[in-house]
Amino acid sequence: MPAVLPFLELPATLRREMWAHAQAEAPRECVGVLGGQLQAGGGQAQVYLPLPNVAARPQVEYQADPAALLRALRAFRAGALELCGIFHSHPQGPQTPSAADRAGAGYDVPYLIADLRAGTLRAFVLPGGDEVALLPASGLLPWRT
């Protein structure tokens, strides 16, 4: 798995699912994972799985339910998909990762953040904070069906 993904292709259908999840959970933060394909140049998300947020203060932080996360990762593996993004929402902003987001980041995949107040969806490599470009699905990558 590459340490940094310069871009992540995110189909419009998945964007809609993620926004719907974020809006349904507000004012709590939502959390979910993206499965798809990775290669050296970037990744392509193909499925979004929402997860329960079990954080103690879900209005300002998130923690995916560990058992649900494990099930999601197993489902990805069973479907020959890789974890290629972790999504959560900031119902009151900001667009960028919080200190807790940076401290809690443990995966070498983009961390996607929806800011419901600003209406933005951005992705970052954490804990460093480099931004990852989110692109519409091109349909050009070989695994695209």
- Residue whose tokens read 């998300």: 45
Strand partners, 31: 51, 88
Residues 77-106 that bind Zn ion (CB under 5 A): 98, 101
* Residue 9 is a binding residue for Zn ion (CB under 5 A): no
Using CA atoms, how far residue 79 sits from 35, 47, 104, 136, in Å, is: 9, 10, 27, 22
Q: What's the closest the beta carbon of residue 30 comes to Zn ion, in angstroms?
A: 11
Tell me the one-letter amino acid at 14. Answer: L
Q: What's the closest the beta carbon of residue 90 comes to Zn ion, in angstroms?
A: 5
The answer to whether the Cα torsion of 106, 46, 145, 142 is positive or negative is negative
Binding mask 105-134 for Zn ion (x = CB under 5 A): ------------------------------
Which distant-in-sequence residues (6+ apart) come within 8 Å of 97 by Cβ?
A: 105, 111, 113, 124, 126, 129
* Count, residues near Zn ion per rule CB under 5 A: 2
Q: What's the closest the beta carbon of residue 113 comes to Zn ion, in angstroms?
A: 6
- Which residue number, 100 or 137, has a Cβ lying nearer to Zn ion? 100
Q: What's the closest the beta carbon of residue 41 comes to Zn ion, in angstroms?
A: 27
**Interface contacts to Zn ion, rule CB under 5 A:** 98, 101
